[in-house]
């Protein structure tokens, strides 16, 4: 491949703009953008297909900057290629309400595929993006209609490769033989603590070869464009392995402090920027300058992308004409629309139906909707038989060569990789046309919390199907029994907690989670059987909290979630025999309940009588909904689940006794604060 002085000028323009951008904000990371400029230039000027005028073109190549602290690099490239990121936006880098925040955020900046910053997450997202391409291609491509054939490119650094989530995702990608995933490793030997010799001396190339990746090494990533280009071309030829290109670079290339940690997370000094611009042929008195030849170079590539997009649109319309059913499905999925009347397939229950664990009820839902929702891709972190997430006719997502599935399969065997699974699902949703769901035990969502948090921040529609959700799992004991976990979930913005009490609420949980286009949901499901409740419904579940059983002249409100709603029902019967009338509220989602209007919440949590919450988990956070809380504020215990419930006093007679004392206490107090009529609530 032939390179000219225009390529050199474009690369140096990136380096100078990175220095200007970070200096202007007096905050950020100039070193990595300056070091990665050559490889990033090649991707955006020679190899990637994209269309800034239609950023959501379904078959565009995806680019992920996993070392998100280097985001000045990505913002600069978005500007140069014609995305709606202006020079003024670069000047507003890291400022409040700007389109160029301190790390890439997909919901803020057009052209950012996934939100990155916490190291390793973007790399794992890229695995999800590559899985999505392979699946969409296997599902929709037909002879003469190569609708999906894009590549996923990711730049990552030493820090990304030290994070466990990257190891999990890399291992999975190698197993799945994701040949259209190409990772460029910016090996600059620098981290915040200094040279990586202090903590990171493994042979990354051999590690990735062991994962099943195709690995190449480029010795001079600062100047040798031919070698970088040759490595990318070779990577594209390897179709049965993901590729890692290890590129040796110099952090802060051109700075007086190049090659040191001093250029990692601090702006270059003014005199350093002056000498940098002189060395690269720029006027040191000018800032944020882009030569027209550089604009022309990148705009020419963008124009080619626009032409490819136009050709693809025509191909799609021809596809729809010849394959109307598949074409209509594809268009619907890309619009994030659901099949008409799909929710009518959700099972409904009456109290006459047998008691069933909500994980088993979840399995019933999946069997009802899996064929109706072909966009649903489900998986488990090596707990399929416990999570009950694989429907009867499911096909595994596997390479054809394994003989155990195909890329058209919709069930992903994630292995014991909870964090990797969750980060991969972020990539699956970001690709488009797919609704990902992944399962493990509720307690182990803590392993995945970094990716779960980014799902909430980014607004990904993801179903976290979490079973064995309390001390009800029994004998496995406190290492597996979630206590504080739901409190963390409920405290996370835009993450929806769904802890259903029976079959109707389980169906309602799925109705919400699948319908919510821009919110992840956590379905908290039991191991133990629960009765089907009188008064529950799919529709009421969507309110987050509702009156399950009303009683005239009530003395107390009992609030339960999940497995403890039926406990409240049984405790209310004992209280009735003791002359205390208890109304019962089911609260499958505190998040959704908080979003209801004041009058509705006031009708559920009525004034004038005390409210008592009951949940086999931490009582933390329940003071918003109850005057007193019955729960567990220690770790759990190992034993048969009924014995464990009894041990912690979560049985009807003990709960009734505590509630009786609460009623007496507030009667003697003569005052019961309102739970709803608050200034800040």
pLDDT at position 630 is 98
- Give the number of other CB atoms < 10 A from CB of residue 436: 30
Tokens 């970094």 correspond to 450
With 90 as the cut, is the pLDDT of residue 679 above it?
no
137/207 Cα distance (integer angstroms): 29
What is the end-to-end Cα distance of the chain in Å, rounded?
Answer: 63
Mean pLDDT of the 672-677 span = 94
% of the chain residues with pLDDT over 70: 100
CA atoms within 13 A of residue 385's CA, in its CB half-sphere: 0
| Per-residue pLDDT reduced to its tens digit, 353-389 | 999 999 999 999 999 999 999 999 999 999 999 999 9
Q: Rounded to whole angstroms, what are the CA distances from 113 to 157, 170, 190, 555?
A: 18, 19, 26, 54
Cβ atoms of 483 and 636 within 8 Å: the answer is yes
635/617 Cα distance (integer angstroms): 9
Cβ atoms of 630 and 614 within 8 Å: the answer is yes
Strand intervals (E) in 482-603: 496-498, 521-524, 529-530, 546-549, 556-560, 582-586
Which pLDDT band, with edges at 50, 70 and 90, does 258 fall under?
Answer: very high
Taking the mean position of all CA atoms in its chain, how far away is CA 194? 31
Which pLDDT band, with edges at 50, 70 and 90, does 680 fall under?
Answer: confident
Averaged confidence pLDDT in the chain: 98
Taking the mean position of all CA atoms in its chain, how far away is CA 230? 34
The sign of the CA dihedral 164, 135, 453, 370 is: negative
pLDDT at position 681 is 58
Does the annotation count 234 as an active-site position? Answer: no
560/505 Cα distance (integer angstroms): 13
List 418, 505, 564, 615, catalytic entry? 418
| Per-residue pLDDT reduced to its tens digit, 484-495 | 999 999 999 999
| Per-residue pLDDT reduced to its tens digit, 431-451 | 999 999 999 999 999 999 999
Residues in contact with 230: Cβ distance below 8 Å, sequence separation at least 6, in sequence order:
1
CA atoms within 13 A of residue 153's CA, in its CB half-sphere: 24
Task: State pTM to two decimals.
Answer: 0.98
> Would you call 96 helix, strand, or coil by DSSP?
coil
| Per-residue pLDDT reduced to its tens digit, 73-89 | 999 999 999 999 999 99
pLDDT at position 43 is 98
Mean pLDDT of the 144-156 span = 98
% of the chain residues with pLDDT over 90: 99
For residue 499, give the nearest of 362, 629, 372, 656 by alpha carbon: 362
| Per-residue pLDDT reduced to its tens digit, 87-103 | 999 999 999 999 999 99
| Per-residue pLDDT reduced to its tens digit, 507-543 | 999 999 999 999 999 999 999 999 999 999 999 999 9
Alpha helix ranges (H) inside 43-118: 71-81, 87-91
Cβ atoms of 375 and 462 within 8 Å: the answer is no
140/59 Cα distance (integer angstroms): 12
Which tokens sit at 386?
């416990």
Mean pLDDT of the 38-65 span = 98
8/6 Cα distance (integer angstroms): 5
- Stated length of the chain: 681
């Amino acid at each position: 491949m032939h390179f000219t002085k225009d390529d050199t000028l474009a690369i140096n323009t990136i380096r100078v703009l990175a220095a200007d951008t970070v200096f202007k904000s007096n905050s950020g990371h100039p070193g990595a953008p300056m070091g990665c400029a050559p490889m990033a230039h090649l991707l955006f000027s020679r190899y990637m297909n994209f269309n800034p005028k239609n950023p959501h073109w379904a078959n565009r190549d995806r680019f992920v900057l996993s070392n998100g602290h280097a985001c000045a690099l990505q913002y600069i490239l978005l500007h140069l290629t014609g995305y709606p990121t202006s020079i003024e936006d670069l000047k507003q880098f890291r400022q409040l309400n700007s389109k160029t925040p301190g790390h890439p955020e997909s919901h803020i900046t057009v052209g950012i595929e996934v939100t990155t910053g916490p190291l390793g997450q973007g790399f794992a997202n890229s695995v999800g993006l590559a899985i999505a391409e392979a699946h969409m291609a296997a599902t929709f491509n037909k002879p003469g209609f190569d609708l999906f054939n894009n590549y996923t490119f990711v730049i990552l650094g030493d820090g990304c490769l030290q994070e466990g989530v990257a190891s999990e995702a890399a291992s999975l990608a190698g197993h799945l033989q994701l040949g259209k995933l190409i990772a460029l490793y910016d090996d600059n030997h620098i981290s915040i603590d200094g040279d990586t010799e202090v903590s990171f001396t493994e042979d990354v190339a051999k590690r990735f070869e062991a994962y099943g990746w195709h690995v190449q090494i480029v010795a001079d990533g600062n100047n040798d464009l031919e070698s970088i280009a040759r490595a990318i071309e070779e990577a594209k030829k390897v179709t049965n392995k993901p590729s890692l290109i290890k590129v040796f670079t110099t952090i802060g290339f051109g700075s007086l402090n190049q090659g040191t940690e001093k250029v990692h997370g601090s702006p270059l000094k003014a005199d350093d920027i002056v000498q940098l611009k002189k060395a690269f042929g720029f006027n040191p008195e000018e800032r944020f300058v882009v030569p027209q030849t550089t604009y022309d170079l990148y705009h020419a590539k963008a124009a080619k992308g626009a032409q490819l997009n136009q050709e693809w649109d025509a191909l799609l319309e021809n596809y729809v004409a010849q394959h109307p059913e598949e074409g209509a499905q594809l268009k619907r999925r890309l619009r994030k629309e659901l099949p008409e009347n799909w929710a009518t397939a959700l099972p409904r229950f009456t109290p006459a139906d047998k008691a069933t664990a909500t994980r088993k009820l979840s399995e019933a839902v999946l069997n009802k909707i899996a064929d109706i929702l072909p966009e649903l891709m489900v998986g488990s972190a090596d707990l399929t038989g416990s999570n009950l997430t694989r429907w009867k006719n499911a096909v595994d997502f596997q390479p054809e060569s394994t003989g155990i599935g195909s890329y058209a399969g919709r069930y992903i065997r994630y292995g014991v990789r909870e964090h990797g699974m969750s980060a991969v699902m972020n990539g699956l949703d970001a690709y488009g046309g797919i609704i990902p769901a992944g399962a493990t035990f509720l307690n182990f969502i803590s392993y995945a919390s970094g990716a779960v948090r980014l799902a909430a921040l980014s607004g990904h529609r993801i179903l976290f199907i979490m079973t064995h959700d309390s001390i009800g799992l029994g004998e496995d004991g406190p290492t597996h029994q979630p206590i504080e976990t739901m409190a963390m979930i409920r405290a996370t913005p835009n993450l929806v907690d769904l802890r259903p009490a029976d079959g109707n609420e389980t169906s309602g949980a799925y109705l919400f989670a699948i319908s919510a286009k821009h919110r992840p949901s956590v379905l908290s499901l039991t191991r133990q059987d629960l009765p089907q409740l009188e008064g529950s419904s799919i529709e009421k579940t969507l309110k987050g909290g509702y009156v399950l059983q009303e009683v005239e002249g009530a003395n107390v409100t009992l609030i339960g979630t999940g497995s403890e709603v039926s406990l409240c029902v049984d405790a209310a019967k004992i209280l009735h025999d003791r002359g205390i009338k208890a109304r019962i509220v089911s609260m499958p989602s505190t998040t959704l309940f908080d979003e209801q209007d004041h009058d509705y919440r006031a009708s559920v949590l009525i004034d004038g009588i005390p409210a008592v919450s009951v949940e086999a988990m931490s009582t933390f956070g329940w003071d918003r909904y109850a005057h007193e809380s019955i729960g567990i504020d220690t770790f759990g215990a190992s034993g048969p689940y009924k014995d464990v419930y009894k041990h912690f006093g979560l049985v009807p007679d003990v709960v009734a006794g505590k509630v009786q004392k609460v009623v007496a206490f507030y009667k003697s107090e003569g005052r019961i604060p309102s739970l709803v009529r608050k200034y800040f609530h």
